[in-house]
Amino acid sequence: MTLSEYIQSLYAYPHRPAWAKPYDPTVAKLIVERYNRRRAQRTVHRKQNWYQKYLASGHWATFRLAVLVLSGGKCCKCGDVADHFHHLHYKSLNRERLRDVEPLCEMCHANEHNVDLAMKQVGRLAEAKGKA
- Please tell me the predicted confidence (pLDDT) of residue 121: 67
- Please tell me the predicted confidence (pLDDT) of residue 20: 79
58-70 and 25-41 helices cross at what angle (nearest 10)? 140
- Please tell me the predicted confidence (pLDDT) of residue 44: 57
pLDDT along the chain (132 residues), means of 10: 76 75 81 80 66 85 89 91 88 87 90 75 71 62
Q: What are phi and psi of 21, to 5 degrees?
A: -100, 165
Q: What are phi and psi of 79, to 5 degrees?
A: 90, 0
Q: How far apart are CA 73 and CA 54, in angstroms?
A: 22
- Please tell me the predicted confidence (pLDDT) of residue 46: 57
Selection from 84, 83, 72, 78 nearest residue 27 by Cα: 72
